[in-house]
Chain A
């Protein structure tokens, strides 16, 4: 069942724009403040108050549009979206209807080597709503409490074309979009803090059918995993329904994380009719081409540009370049390393190998790991000058990762310094050879493994700290020089 059906997915992403103040008033946008301490008559929707647009919001919206290869129309305006809800003080949201700030862009994604271009329909500026919490025990309390701190926090709603065909593609799109927003520096994209939110429009249709099936909108997708699971579940649900000859109802559904199912959110009152009309309190915006170019010129390096730089400038393979440019943190970590340690491939190997292994293990982001680029560089140098062996390095690295200590500290604490000087090694080797005349004999008679036996003994005697390369040459001489 299911294999004869195609899943069609479009995403609506709300990204909180990184500003100091709200979109229409000067209240702070800082996260986690005491309830209603970041409110004023404007964002609390008092009588007679008026909105004044935060210029930074428009700049960040344009920046995002450029990052997503969007058109930035000359004319753009705000509209009122009317609906009643206790977290929406004015009972209308100031948003953009027919003249959004960005339109017609795209995002290139990659699912297991499969490249794909997802269209972006539009991106528009709007204000966030407040927060509703149940008072006390949700099952018994007759009340909800309203906190308006988040009212008026600037959002950019980014709407994709229905171009995705699997949960994996949808996830890849959201991950790529997040990375783009982070590189562009327009949003913190913290899903757990709600600064990146995603709704998915899902429908199914038999392969070959061009007409789209009836879609449902899934809300409350607070993680990449939730997005993937929810779409998989919803697609299965719809296909089963269709196969049982049922009709799919166009509706909004919510993802139930505990039960891992989507549930209908229909409520009979909700005769939805938003009655959009132009916001009379805000004059329209004329976005001059000069302004757009100023913003373009000031834009930070985006992943594609960085990848070219890594491949052409540092001679890295495409694959490495793509992995290292997934987040701005990993790119800047790499860049800071190669400043002092030009062997880019070695840096890349350690980052993609040990580093990402340990990050995944402790599920951390590069940002919150204790390891610094300086320490990694010092460690690599220690390998090169023979202070430690590549094998020791793995231990040193893990310790640096866990403790944030410098390689020097770790090496001396663990007394890991490699023994390389012959003055120490020669007497020790001679002693071991003398103590095993029989084996030395075997060696002379061409028994190769006899050599390995001596190496093992030497390493044992030096607790593995002897420099293998040097031991090798010294041992050869000594064995060859006995009568």
Chain B
């Protein structure tokens, strides 16, 4: 399962990582060898096996619909690298 640079670029876009050319080349190679290793799973027959999504045998964990105080806005914004008018600031969305 060899990954092409193009595939790496597509995945990097999905993951929002602006990789350098070196990183692309390195990851193409390393991910390929990890995926080869992953392909060893194909040795096990799994037809009819239920995928294990939740390990615990529990369901229906709920909260009641009761309002609790939100966090102080200053605290929520305190870590923001860029904020204005009590809002987070990002480059304009066109």
Contacts and interface: CB of A to CB of B under 8 A. Distances in A.
Interface of A: 19-21, 26-28, 34-41, 44, 52-58, 77, 84, 86, 91, 132-135, 141-148, 267, 269, 271, 273, 275, 278, 280, 282-286
Contact of B86 (A34, A52, A57, A280): A34
A147 B87 contact: yes
B88 A146 contact: yes
Q: Is the interface of A mostly helix, strand, loop or mixed?
A: loop
Contact of B88 (A41, A55, A145): A145
A53 B63 CA distance: 6
Contact of A271 (B13, B58, B85, B87): B13
A144 B73 contact: no
Nearest to A133: B87
A44 B76 contact: yes
A77 B53 contact: yes
B84 interface: yes
Nearest to A91: B16
Of B62, B86, B87, the most chain A CB neighbours within 10 A belong to B87
A134 B71 contact: no
B73 A146 contact: no
Of B13, B59, B71, B76, the most chain A CB neighbours within 10 A belong to B71
Contacts of B70: 27-28, 37-40
Given A55-B63, A145-B88, A284 B54 contact: yes
Contacts of A147: 87
B60 interface: yes
B38 interface: no
A319 B65 CA distance: 40
14 contacts: A21-B66, A26-B68, A28-B67, A35-B85, A36-B77, A36-B86, A37-B73, A58-B62, A91-B16, A132-B93, A146-B87, A147-B87, A267-B94, A283-B58
B56 interface: yes
B71 A40 contact: yes
A86 B93 contact: yes
Q: Can you list the 3 inter-chain pairs with the closest CB atoms, starting with the nearest?
A: A26-B68, A56-B65, A145-B87
Contact of B59 (A39, A142, A286): A286
B76 A36 contact: yes
Contacts of B60: 283, 285-286
Of B65, B73, B91, the most chain A CB neighbours within 10 A belong to B65
Contacts of B64: 54-56
Given A36-B76, A271-B13, A271-B14, A280 B53 contact: yes
B66 A26 contact: yes
Of B60, B63, B93, the most chain A CB neighbours within 10 A belong to B63
